[in-house]
């Protein structure tokens, strides 16, 4: 049985190191040579889960091109099953990642094949999705794909609603664990971007109508776990950050990993926080995800 099926994006990342991120209209020179890396939130989360020892299958699409060949080979080498990744008559997705030495980043994505993937492509994958212990999703594919995957899933459903966009209430109602950041939570709740405290964030989380907890990632401030009657603030691990690009993806994969082991939601969030903390100490996203032995077992 597959532990985790990831339904989401696969991109080739072009990473450009900078001394500082450019302001609007500004051109800045790179701090070092650019490099190519595997990416896309779906592929990142799939590799992160595989590195934690999970049996993982990827559902998505890449182009009929050299980038697609390279990307499929890359994630297959990490142990991710790629039979359910379709080849699309559109280019493989690309992401331009601008990152500074202190870990700040800005990302622009050309979705390509990721947005070619349609809900009807999931019909032949019904057995794969229905038999998985968990289905892990993001929002770099079409909203109808997310909704259909949630409908077909019979195990744990974990939705990382990134990038921010509306989610149909019927889909939210079938989500077991929602993992937004602060901005994504506000967008889902129909509120403006906010620096609100834990109580206000918890109220927004409870207003969404998910059938399970909401785990709000707060970057350097940690994570807020919200259930119907409780909330916990999970402190961030203190590390020397190099690149925060892949932190959220590692967090989501590790959260699902711990929940499949039977951890309570607050303990799962602590495990996810420790795994994400390892990720930010390394450059890159996919390649920065830790293996299980590299994640501290306790804070």
Q: Does the pLDDT of residue 105 top 80, yes or no?
A: no
- Alpha-carbon gap, residue 222 to 233, rounded angstroms: 7
Per residue in 189-226, pLDDT (tens digit) is 998 887 889 999 999 999 999 999 999 999 889 999 99
Bind-site residues for ATP: 181, 217-222, 248-249
Residue among 16, 9, 8 nearest 96 (CA): 16
pLDDT band at 262 (very low <50, low <70, confident <90, very high): very high
Give the mean model confidence (pLDDT) for residues 237-250: 86
User: What pLDDT sits at residue 238?
Assistant: 87
- Alpha-carbon gap, residue 14 to 83, rounded angstroms: 25
* Across 120-124, 151-155, 175-179, 242-246, least confident range: 242-246
Q: What is the largest CA-CA distance in the chain?
A: 51
* 142: in domain: yes
* 97: in domain: no
* 34: in domain: no
User: What pLDDT sits at residue 97?
Assistant: 84
* 170: in domain: yes
- How far are the Cα atoms of 71, 203, 213 from residue 61, in angstroms, in the given order? 11, 37, 30
pLDDT band at 163 (very low <50, low <70, confident <90, very high): very high
- Alpha-carbon gap, residue 26 to 165, rounded angstroms: 28
Q: What stretches of 21-162 adopt beta strand conformation (E)? A: 35-39, 56-63, 80-81, 85-88, 93-100, 105-110, 134-137, 156-159
* 195: in domain: yes
Helix (H) or strand (E) holding 178: strand 177-178
% residues pLDDT > 90 (the chain): 85
Q: What is the CATH number of the domain that holds 190?
A: 3.40.1190.20
Q: Does the pLDDT of residue 31 top 60, yes or no?
A: yes
Burial class of 148 by CB neighbour count within 10 A (0 to 12, 13 to 18, 19+) = buried
**Token output for 186:** 């506000």
- Alpha-carbon gap, residue 136 to 129, rounded angstroms: 10
User: What pLDDT sits at residue 120?
Assistant: 98
* 31: in domain: no
Give the mean model confidence (pLDDT) for residues 109-132: 97
- The total number of structural domains that make up the chain: 1
The catalytic residues are 249
User: What value, to the nearest 5°, has the Cα angle with vertex 133 and ends 288 and 37?
Assistant: 20
% residues pLDDT > 70 (the chain): 99
- Alpha-carbon gap, residue 187 to 164, rounded angstroms: 6
* 185: in domain: yes
Q: Which structural domain range is residue 222 located in?
A: 4-9+41-66+76-87+115-294
Residues 6+ apart with CB under 8 A from 143: 165, 166, 167, 168
Residues 6+ apart with CB under 8 A from 268: 254, 255, 258, 259
User: What pLDDT sits at residue 103?
Assistant: 67
- Alpha-carbon gap, residue 66 to 87, rounded angstroms: 11
Give the mean model confidence (pLDDT) for residues 154-164: 96
Bind-site residues for K(+): 243, 245, 279, 282, 284
CB 67, CB 11: distance < 8 Å: no
pLDDT band at 299 (very low <50, low <70, confident <90, very high): low
pLDDT band at 159 (very low <50, low <70, confident <90, very high): very high
Bind-site residues: 11-13, 40-44, 140, 181, 217-222, 243, 245, 248-249, 279, 282, 284
Give the mean model confidence (pLDDT) for residues 238-248: 84
User: What pLDDT sits at residue 225?
Assistant: 97
Bind-site residues for substrate: 11-13, 40-44, 140, 249
Q: Does the pLDDT of residue 113 top 80, yes or no?
A: yes
Q: How many CB atoms lie within 10 A of CB 27?
A: 5
Residue among 155, 184, 141 nearest 45 (CA): 141
* 123: in domain: yes
pLDDT band at 244 (very low <50, low <70, confident <90, very high): confident
Average model confidence (pLDDT) across the chain: 94
Phi first, then psi: give them for residue 21, nearest 5 degrees.
-70, 145
């Amino acid at each position: 049985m597959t532990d985790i099926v990831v339904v989401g994006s696969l991109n080739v990342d072009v990473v450009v190191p900078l001394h500082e991120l450019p302001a609007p209209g500004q051109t800045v020179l790179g701090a070092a040579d650019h490099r190519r890396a595997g990416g896309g939130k779906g592929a990142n989360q799939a590799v992160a889960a595989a590195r934690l020892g999970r049996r993982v299958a990827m559902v998505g699409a890449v182009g009929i091109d050299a980038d697609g060949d390279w990307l499929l080979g890359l994630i297959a080498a990490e142990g991710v099953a790629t039979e359910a990744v379709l080849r699309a008559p559109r280019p493989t997705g690309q992401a331009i990642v601008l990152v500074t030495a202190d870990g700040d980043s800005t990302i622009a994505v050309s979705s390509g094949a990721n947005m070619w993937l349609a809900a009807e492509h999931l019909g032949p994958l019904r057995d794969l999705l229905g038999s998985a212990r968990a289905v892990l999703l993001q929002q770099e594919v079409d909203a109808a794909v997310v909704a259909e995957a949630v409908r077909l899933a019979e195990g744990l459903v974990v939705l990382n609603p990134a990038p921010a966009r509306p989610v149909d209430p019927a889909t939210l109602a079938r989500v077991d664990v929602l993992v937004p950041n602060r901005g994504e939570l506000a967008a889902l709740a129909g509120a403006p971007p906010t620096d609100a405290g834990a109580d206000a964030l918890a109220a927004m989380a409870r207003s969404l109508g998910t059938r399970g907890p909401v785990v709000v990632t707060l970057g350097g401030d940690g994570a807020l776990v919200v259930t119907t009657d409780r909330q916990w603030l999970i402190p961030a691990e203190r590390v020397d950050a190099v690149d925060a690009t892949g932190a959220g993806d590692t967090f989501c994969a590790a959260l699902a990993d711990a929940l499949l082991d039977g951890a309570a939601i607050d303990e799962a969030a602590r495990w996810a926080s420790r795994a994400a903390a390892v990720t930010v100490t390394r450059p890159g996203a996919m390649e920065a995800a830790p293996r299980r032995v590299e994640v501290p077992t306790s804070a």
